[in-house]
A and B are shown apart, each in its own frame.
Chain A
Amino acid sequence: SQQGEEDPQALSIQEGENATMNCSYKTSINNLQWYRQNSGRGLVHLILIRSNEREKHSGRLRVTLDTSKKSSSLLITASRAADTASYFCATAGNQFYFGTGTSLTVIP
């Protein structure tokens, strides 16, 4: 069973718009990570946020974590066509799980 559930399952936006993806999880975590997967490729690590952090930035990425609600969000600002991919959250702690993923399409 999946520990992390992502919302929405699919998202389509115009280039230049912001994209927000959400992840909910079930058990306590040490940290939460976000990954990108381009079609037919492996997963690439984007950003890690620890359980004692609330927000983290990396370039056009902004991640928030709310441990009381067991949820995280990934914001991609000023999206580009090259951001088209699937995005997964992953939890690390007593157990390791990946979410179901959000398929993002950025239309040029």
Chain B
Amino acid sequence: DAGVIQSPRHEVTEMGQEVTLRCKPISGHDYLFWYRQTMMRGLELLIYFNNNVPIDDSGMPEDRFSAKMPNASFSTLKIQPSEPRDSAVYFCASSRQWEGYTFGSGTRLTVV
């Protein structure tokens, strides 16, 4: 298995633009997580899915953020409109049950 695949690796966008981050989890994993990492706040859980169903989105900062998981092999995190304070590294992780996460390489987002 190629592991958790995230795209793009880097994204630079202007304030107000829509940003879409993509994630392909490991086949057979039933949990998918989106995390955001910044120096100030560390690792923050944004949302997680179980069997493609969103379970807890209480970490999503505001309505500008949305996440979907249309099938077991794909998830997106969308920010619309983006703001400079959204600049961070966004990680996707998947796991089978709660038996340890496998993280993707992350997407480094810069909003200017």
The interface of chain A, by Cβ under 8 A from chain B, is: 2, 30-31, 33, 35, 41-45, 48, 88, 90, 92-93, 95-101
Apart from A98-B45, A101-B43, what 10 extra A-B contacts exist at CB < 8 Å? A2-B42, A41-B106, A42-B104, A42-B106, A43-B93, A90-B101, A92-B98, A96-B33, A98-B43, A101-B42
Q: Is the CB of A42 within 8 A of B100?
A: no
The interface residues of chain B, by DSSP majority, are classed as: strand
Interface set of B (CB-CB < 8 Å, partner A): 33, 35, 42-43, 45, 48, 56, 91, 93, 98-106
Out of B45, B48, B102, B106, name the residue touching A45 (CB < 8 Å): B102
Q: Is the CB of B43 within 8 A of A44?
A: no
A42 contacts B103, C-beta separation under 8 Å: yes
Whose C-beta in chain B lies nearest to the C-beta of A95?
B56
In the complex, chain B residues whose CB is within 8 Å of the CB of A90: 101
A5 to B78, CA, bound (A): 29
Q: Are B42 and A96 in contact (CB under 8 A)?
A: no
Task: Let me know if B101 and A43 touch, CB within 8 A.
Answer: yes
Which A residues touch B93, using CB under 8 A?
43
Chain A contact residues, majority secondary structure: strand
Minimum CB distance partner of B91 in chain A:
A42
> A31-B98, A45-B101 given as contacts; is B48 within 8 A of A96 (CB)?
yes
Q: Which residue of B lies closest to A33 (CB)?
A: B100
CA distance A56 to B24 in the complex (A): 31
22 contacts between A and B (CB under 8 A): A31-B98, A31-B99, A33-B101, A35-B101, A41-B105, A42-B91, A42-B104, A42-B105, A43-B91, A43-B93, A43-B103, A44-B103, A45-B100, A45-B101, A48-B99, A96-B45, A96-B98, A97-B45, A98-B42, A98-B43, A100-B42, A101-B42
A21, chain B: closest CB distance, angstroms: 15
* Shortest beta-carbon distance from B12 to chain A in Å: 16
List the 9 shortest-distance A-B pairs measured between CB atoms, nearest first: A92-B98, A42-B103, A98-B43, A45-B100, A43-B103, A42-B105, A48-B100, A100-B42, A42-B106
